[in-house]
Structure 1
Amino acid sequence: MKSHNVVAIAAAFVVFLLAVQASEAAISCSDVISNLRPCVSYLVNGSGKPPPACCSGVSAVASAASTSADKKTACNCIKSAAKNVNLNPQLAQALPGNCGVNLPFPVSPNTDCSKIG
C-alpha cells in the first residue's frame, strides 16, 4: 500500500509540473521534472544520501538555470510541486547541499521566487 501511495504522489508531481510553464525562460517545468524525477521517492520517504541519479538531475537543473528567467522558472516549478506533494521539508532543503550542488534558491514551498535573480 505504501509503494502505491508513493507512485500516486509521484504521478501527481509529474502531472502538476508538466502543467506549469513559463513563457520567458529557456528552461521549462518539463525540463525540471525530467531532471528531478529520480528525487521524488527520496524526498517523500528517503533518508541518508540522495541517489546518484537524483544528484545528477539536481546538477542538470542548476546548470540549465543560468539566466534570471531560468532560475525563476525552476524555482517556481519546484515551489509549486513542493506545495502539492508531501515532501520531507528537511530532505528537500538539504537536497542541493547533499548532492554537492549550489542552487540559487532553497527547495521549499515558502521560497519567494520573485526575488531570485
Structure 2
Amino acid sequence: MSSSSLAIRLLAAAIAVVLLAAPAATITCGDVMKDLMPCINYLTSGSGAPPSNCCAGVSSLASAATSTADKQAACACLKNAAKNINVKPELAKSLPGNCGISLSISVSPNTDCSKIS
C-alpha cells in the first residue's frame, strides 16, 4: 500500500469519526448566566410574577438551547448555579410557566442533567 493511499484512508476514517461524533454543546455557561441574571433576585426572594427582563432571558435561553447537548450543558450550568445561590425551589420550578415559556431545563441542584433530551 502506498503512503498516499494510506493517507487517504486515514483521512477518510478521521472524517467518518468527526461526522459520527455526538454534537457538542454550542451554548456556554456564560450564555446561560447572562440570560438568567435578571432572574436572580426573583428566584431568591421574589413572589408573584417574574420581572419582564427575567422572562426575556428565559425566552432567550429557550431559543438558544435546542439540541440535547445544549440543554444538558445549560442544565449543568443551572445546577451548579442553584447550589451556589439559595433559590426558592418552587419559584425555580415554576419560572418558565410563569413566563409563559416551555423550557425543559430545571433550575435545581437535584436535577439529573443526563436525562434531559
Kindly state the Cα deviation for residue 105 of structure 1 after the two structures are TM-superposed. Answer: 2.8
Give the corresponding residue for 2:74: 74
1:55 Cα offset (Å): 0.2
Q: Does 1:115 align with 2:115?
A: yes
Residue by residue over 1:48-74, the C-alpha shift from the partner in whole angstroms, topping out at 9 and shown as x without a partner, is 100000000001101100111000011
Query: Normalization by structure 1: what TM-score?
Result: 0.77
Deviation digits for residues 9-36 of structure 1 (CA, Å, limit 9, x no counterpart): xxxxxxxxxxxxxxx3111000001100
RMSD, aligned α-carbons: 0.8
Q: How does 1:14-33 map to 2 (within 5 A)?
A: 24-33=24-33
Larger radius of gyration: 2
Aligned counterparts of 1:61 and 1:96: Cα–Cα separation in 2: 10
CA positional deviation for 1:106: 2.5
Question: Across the two proteins, how many residue pairs are aligned to each other?
Answer: 94
Amino acid aligned to 1:32: V
Q: Secondary structure at the match of 1:92?
A: helix
Tell whether 2:26 aligns with 1:37: no
Shift of 1:107: 2.2
Q: State the partner residue of 1:59.
A: 59
Read off the aligned partner of 1:27 and give its amino acid letter: I
Cα distance in 1 for partners of 2:70, 2:35 equals: 14
- AA at the equivalent of 1:29: C
Identical amino acids, percent of aligned pairs = 60
Deviation at 1:83, TM superposition (A): 1.0
Letter in 1 for 2:79: K
Q: TM-score, normalised by structure 2?
A: 0.77
Gapped runs of 5+ residues in structure 2? Answer: 1-23
Q: Aligned equivalents of 1:107 and 1:84: distance in 2?
A: 12
Counterpart CA distance in 2 for 1:104 and 1:46 is: 22
Q: Which runs of 5+ in 1 are unaligned?
A: 1-23
